[in-house]
Every structure is written in C-alpha cells, then in structure tokens.
Amino acid sequence: MKQLFSAIAENGRYSEKMACHYIAHVLYNNAYGWTIKYYTDSYGTFPVRDFIDSISPEAQAKFIFIADLLEDYGIGVKEPYIKSISGQKKLFEIRIKDRVNIHRIFYFTYTGKTLVLLHGFTKKNR
C-alpha cells in the first residue's frame, strides 16, 4: 500500500501523507458518502477535470478539501465553501480562492446522493 501512496505522490501534487488520506477517504466514501461525478462532453473529455488540472497547486489542494467535505456532508456544506446560485433551485458553486485568483466550479445535485460537476472557471484576479 505504501508503494501506491508513493506513486501518487511522485506526480508532485500530493505528499505521501496526503495521498494516503485521499485514498482512504475515497474508499470510505464509495461505501457510505456522497458521490462526485464529472460531466462528460460529446468528445468524451471531462472539462472540470481539465480545469482543476490547470489551476495552481494551492487551489487544487483547496478543491480536494472541499470535495472531501462534499463527499462527507453533501448538501450540508455551506458558505464559505459552497454557495447556491440565486434563481436556480439545485445549482451550486464551489468557491476556491488562492493567492492570486478566485475560481468557481458549478455543480448540481442528482438522485442517489450524487453531485455532478459541470463547469469551472477563474472569476478574476484579486
């Protein structure tokens, strides 16, 4: 198992400890928590995953933290991490700030304790 954590950490995004936590969290949530799914476009790509890969490591770490909260608590997560989109019943945004930018990821809730991530963008520079 330690080799798996090391392999994940080698890509430069996660420490071994963070990789260990992330894998344990995924295994737990697959059995008990909410599920996060990514919208797939007609070309078979995942625009939100591409967006997450493009943001700073600091912002990626904050996304992982918020995703963990969503997998544990689902619709119970509130501001400052999540905000509902006014005028839209089941549309929400994940709110991520790093040192330079403000990022948003839109998602909606779906049956079976599922959250579907739709679109991500960088709102503005601070």
Look at residue 54 in the predicted model and tell me its pLDDT: 93
Q: Give burial (CB, 10 Å; 0-12/13-18/19+) of 21.
A: middle
Residues of the chain with CATH 3.30.2310.20: 34-125
- The beta-carbon contacts of 67-70 under 8 Å, at least 24 apart in sequence, are 67/36, 67/94, 68/25, 70/34, 70/36, 70/94, 70/115
Supply the pLDDT for residue 25. 60
Residue 1's pLDDT is 46
Give tens-digit pLDDT for 88-124: 888 999 999 999 999 999 999 988 899 999 999 998 7
pLDDT < 50: residue spans in the chain: 1, 5
How much is the mean pLDDT over the chain?
83
Return the CATH number of the domain spanning residue range 34-125.
Answer: 3.30.2310.20
